[in-house]
Amino acid sequence: MKYSTAILSALALCISEVVAYPSAAFEYAAKAERDASTQESLEAAMRKHQNKGRAVGFDPTAQYVSNQGKYAFKAPNLAGGDQRGPCPGLNAMANHGYLPSNGVATIQQFIDSTLKVFGMGKDLGGFLSIYGALIDGDGTKWSIGGPTPYVPGLLGLLGTPQGISGSHNKYEGDASPTRPDLYQYGNDYKVIVPQFKQLYDMQPNAATANYDLDVLTDFRASRFQQSIDNNPYFFNGPFSGVLVQPAAYTFIFRFMGNKSAEYPEGRLNQEVLKSFFSITGDSNNLKWTEGNEKIPNNWYKRAIGDEYTIPFFLTDVLAAAAQHPEFLSIGGNTGTTNSFTGVDITDLTDGVFNGATLLKGNNLACFVFQNLQNAVPDLIKGLFLNPSGPLGQLTSAISSVTAPFVCPNLAKFDRSQFDKFPGSKGFVA
């Protein structure tokens, strides 16, 4: 197989520097949003905080997330049309009334609930919610599962919104922690129990188990290779692979880890992990119940003021890639298993970026979001009769993300480079 060799070489030069940062540098990087200058690179932000200790704190009253009373668990009526999909956190919020039980919510409901339940930053929640509503919904709301009458195809829409379960290569992608690759299994939202078991067994001692970022990054590397080995149509896209895929792993610990005075950054044990993934039983008898994700008892979210923001998330992306450079290799299998071929970034971006410059300053963030901005006009055109309004809304959301950065002008993105990858068919982000 052939990864994007320029990226691998460039990352190799900076691995020793990045992984040498104390873990507190990455943990504390959320503060970069407030005290780093707007022109400062993510790498510089990590350096700035490398010698700072944790200052998260723990407030049990402010951080407690109720699963009682009006927030008591209520199983979804899947046969009656309630929607549950590939995101366990969204499923759990719908099951506890933090999102509508039918699995359909508005942009504002998603922003408010992810902040309230998990401590997701409004910048990250806002971007993901707007993107979801426009790509998977009707521009104002979207389904956390598949198509539903609650998000009908109305005048102004072309066809019926497919929800997040129908957004392969747009919102959802291959190499998920627990969900299947679409072209390998025929769906992208049902838990594959052996995949969950693989993660679960990485921390076999219930007394000391903690599924932290080190564990999850190792697990991601294994899943990445499994997709290459078993899915002839595996594809690692510039947005769905480079950015959304790592979110599926970092969100597990950053959001599901139970916060306490002893573990203010969180500790994710076996029982909490199983609760959020709707799994019961021990390692030898794990059972998944579709749609029954639960917020555990006595569970506490991220500290107030330590929300998981876009800058914080991007430092996690870079930290994982420093350990496993293949994560940033855009490309895929060419129709047979274990045939991964990387795309030349220079050809893809008409020379604006290359494998070395992609890792300088904020270029990775610029590349990913500019690629998305370059791609959405064609996508919106295929979803809306009059795409100008939705396009402006999504362009504004993307611009708000890249505004703090000085980005090279990426005017052209050659999507013909993806033609050799059958798993990239349809819209690719």
CATH code, domain carrying 351: 1.10.489.10
**43 in a structural domain:** yes
**321 in a structural domain:** yes
| SS (HEC) of the chain | CECCHHHHHHHHHHHHHHHCCCHHHHHHHHHHHHHCCCCCCHHHHHHHCCCCCCCCCCCHHHHEECCCHHHCCCCCCCCCCCCCCCCHHHHHHHHCCCCCCCCEEEHHHHHHHHHHHHCECHHHHHHHHHHHHHHHCCCCEEECCCCCCCCCCCCCECCCCCCHHHCECCCECCCCCCCCCHHHHCCCCCCCHHHHHHHHCCCCCCCCCCCCHHHHHHHHHHHHHHHHHHCCCCEECCCHHHHHHHHHHHHHHHHHCECCCCCCCCECCHHHHHHHCCEECCCCCCEECCCCCCCCCCEECCCCCCCECHHHHHHHHHHHHHHCHHHHCCEECCCCCCCCEECCHHHHCCCCCCCCHHHCCCHHHHHHHHHHHHHHHHHHHCCECCCHHHHHHHHHHHHHHHCCCCCCCCCCCCHHHHCCCHHHCCCCC
The more confidently predicted of residues 23 and 296 is 296
Q: What is the identity of the amino acid at 199?
A: L
Regarding beta strands 279-280 and 64-65, do their DSSP bridges make them parallel or antiparallel, or are they unpaired?
unpaired
> pLDDT tens-digit profile of 178-215?
999 999 999 999 999 999 999 999 999 999 999 999 99
In this structure, the number of other CB atoms found within 10 A of the CB of residue 48 comes to 18
What is residue 360's predicted lDDT score, i.e. its pLDDT? 83
Mean pLDDT (the chain, rounded): 86
> What Cα–Cα distance (Å) separates residue 175 from each residue in 203, 219, 223, 229?
20, 10, 6, 11
**317 in a structural domain:** yes
The CA distance from 2 to 134, in Å, is 34
What is residue 280's predicted lDDT score, i.e. its pLDDT? 98
**Cβ 81 vs Cβ 148: under 8 Å:** yes
What is residue 13's predicted lDDT score, i.e. its pLDDT? 42
* Least-confidence region, from 29-38, 158-167, 296-305, 402-411: 29-38
- The parent domain of residue 50 ranges over 5-424
Reported residue count of the chain is 429
- Report percent pLDDT > 90 for the chain: 67
Band (pLDDT 50/70/90 cuts) for residue 29 is very low
* pLDDT exceeds 80 at position 386: no
* Least-confidence region, from 24-28, 37-41, 108-112, 332-336: 24-28
> pLDDT tens-digit profile of 239-288?
999 999 999 999 999 999 999 999 999 999 999 999 999 999 999 999 99
**429 in a structural domain:** no
* pLDDT exceeds 50 at position 401: yes
Instruction: Give the strand order in the sheet containing 235-236.
Output: 235-236, 331-332, 341-342
Q: What is the identity of the amino acid at 306?
A: D
* pLDDT exceeds 50 at position 35: no
* pLDDT exceeds 50 at position 378: yes
The whole-number average pLDDT for the span 73-92 is 98
**241 in a structural domain:** yes
**207 in a structural domain:** yes
Q: What is the identity of the amino acid at 121?
A: G
What is residue 6's predicted lDDT score, i.e. its pLDDT? 53
* pLDDT exceeds 80 at position 51: no
The whole-number average pLDDT for the span 134-155 is 89
Here the contacts of 281-289 (C-beta below 8 Å, separation 24 or greater) are 283/197, 283/200, 283/201, 283/204, 286/193, 286/196, 286/197, 286/200, 287/193, 288/190, 288/191, 288/193, 288/196
> pLDDT tens-digit profile of 99-109?
999 999 999 99
What is residue 2's predicted lDDT score, i.e. its pLDDT? 66
Band (pLDDT 50/70/90 cuts) for residue 398 is confident
> pLDDT tens-digit profile of 322-373?
899 999 999 999 999 999 999 999 999 999 998 888 878 889 999 999 888 8
Q: Which of 165-174, 332-341, 352-361, 393-402 has the highest mean pLDDT?
A: 332-341
Domain total in the chain: 1
List CB contacts of 218: < 8 A, sequence separation 6 or more: 202
What is residue 7's predicted lDDT score, i.e. its pLDDT? 52
Band (pLDDT 50/70/90 cuts) for residue 409 is confident
* Least-confidence region, from 51-60, 111-120, 332-341, 416-425: 51-60
The whole-number average pLDDT for the span 392-408 is 85
Q: What is the pTM of this model?
A: 0.88
What is residue 3's predicted lDDT score, i.e. its pLDDT? 63
Q: How many CA atoms lie within 13 A of 407 on its CB side?
A: 21
